[in-house]
Amino acid sequence: MTRPAISAEGVGKRFGATVALDGVDFDVALGEIHAAVGENGAGKSTLIRILGGVHRPDRGVIRLDGKECHFASPRDAIAAGIVTIPQDLRLVPALSIAENIALGDLPVRRLGPLTMVDRARMREEAREVLAQLDFHPDPRAKAASLGFAERQLVAIAKALRRRSRVFILDEPTAALEKREIERLFSVLTRMKRQGTAVIYISHRLDEVVAIADRCTVLRDGRVAAVAARGTFAVNDLVGAMIGRLAQGAVAFSLPAGEPLLEAQPEGVATVCVREREVVGLAGLLGSGADRMIRGLFGAGSEPTMVAARGDKRRFASPADAIAVGIGMVPGERALGLIMNQSVRDNILLPNLDALTRIGWLDRDAGDRLVAEVMELVAISRRRSWRNGWRGGSPCSSSMSPPKASMSPPRRRSTRSSAMSSPAAVAR
């Protein structure tokens, strides 16, 4: 293999009592796609934040083209040719698509002593780079007018415009459909041929098998395995991630029960969800599936008439949906979490009324609830969520389901549980 474009040697990182990385070695060569996989909390995001200049390692060395380097900020990393597309998209809603793509590197023209932004060139460059992703919006449109998947394409286009030497993608396909994923893979293959080093983070292991030249598996902040293309399959990756051989899932079906939810949120198609049933909504980018789900949760632009167990109700706000036992996990995690609060606080937030006794919060009951939910959805125990009522580690993507799906204990009836699941699954 040629000399790595960038490498991490023996890197360690702590956040308070939480060990995020412990002696991790990782590198990627020019013209290579190197994937990093692992369970939630394994250390993937921390690793790429260190490589991208967001965090500084507590120990270990980062090398760029074989030379030790120290990034004081993401700007230093970008200047060195390292561009990261994070899970939480860094777009400015009030700016146009073209302005977001060019932000930080605006094209200019000079009129005598004056320097002005060349908006015509900015829009043309935006069209060209978006065309690589087969996405053709009006570059003058505001970023706020786009859906999450469309904003993700804009973020990818912004990184492509910078012509990076090291290209880092953190869960880039989380909100994309098959057609958009195929376009992205085509772009990554072209970048690889042009000599760009690509670091690819994903929970979709079939994608990793298809696109990666090499794969590193992280488990509890350490490297569990490294394998080259052709030597690993999905089951191998799962086994390395969890530390044991993966067991095949047993498929079974149950007869559907009585209708729990019926509605026409878009005024066209009728959605009906029954007991013991999972209903999927599918469609191309912009087809309206997201709007339908928001309408069923009372978060649409207009109130939605819904029959909940045959009882017709008007959902004008999420509170109306929650009152009858409907929960929702949004596709964009920032809409369902308070990102600068701990895992513990996010789990407790929708349950505070049930944990209050005569005006006082029952902390012991809160701890039991948090432990139960973390066990249920397998949130890593090494996150220190017990550090006080507002303490603990900042929440991550692994937190979205428990916060949204948990109802206060006093509402834990068969009806509430059954009605929460379809909304969350069909998001």
pLDDT tens per residue, range 259-269? 888 888 766 67
- Give the pLDDT confidence score for residue 107 in this predicted structure: 92
For the cut 80, the answer to whether the pLDDT of residue 182 exceeds it is: yes
For the cut 90, the answer to whether the pLDDT of residue 82 exceeds it is: yes
- Give the pLDDT confidence score for residue 116 in this predicted structure: 92
- Give the pLDDT confidence score for residue 225 in this predicted structure: 94
Average pLDDT over residues 280-309: 81
- H or E element in which residue 361 lies: strand 360-361
For the cut 60, the answer to whether the pLDDT of residue 418 exceeds it is: no
- Give the pLDDT confidence score for residue 134 in this predicted structure: 82
For the cut 90, the answer to whether the pLDDT of residue 111 exceeds it is: no
Structure token digits, residue 14: 């702590």
| 166 close to 81: Cβ distance less than 8 angstroms | yes
Structure token digits, residue 226: 């490294």
Highest mean pLDDT out of 48-57, 156-165, 374-383: 48-57
- Three-state secondary structure call for residue 374: helix
Write down the architecture of domain 4-242 according to CATH. 3-Layer(aba) Sandwich (3.40)
Q: Where are the domains of the chain?
A: 4-242, 255-327+418-427, 337-406
Mean pLDDT of the chain: 82
Q: Which residues contact 35 (CB under 8 A, 6 or more apart)?
A: 199, 200, 201, 202, 208, 211, 212, 214, 215, 216
Average pLDDT over residues 161-177: 85
- Give the pLDDT confidence score for residue 181 in this predicted structure: 86
Q: How far apart are CA 414 and CA 395, in angstroms?
A: 29
Q: Bin 186: left if φ > 0, else alpha if -120 < ψ < 50, else beta.
A: alpha
Helices (H) and strands (E) in the chain, counts: 14, 18
Indicate the pLDDT class of residue 159, thresholds 50, 70 and 90.
confident
Total length of the chain: 427
Structure token digits, residue 218: 């992280």
Average pLDDT over residues 41-48: 91
Structure token digits, residue 240: 């390395």
- Give the pLDDT confidence score for residue 11 in this predicted structure: 96
- Give the pLDDT confidence score for residue 392 in this predicted structure: 41
For the cut 80, the answer to whether the pLDDT of residue 27 exceeds it is: yes
Q: Is 131 exposed, middle or buried (0-12, 13-18, 19+ CB in 10 A)?
A: exposed
pLDDT tens-digit profile of 225-243?
Answer: 999 999 999 999 999 998 8
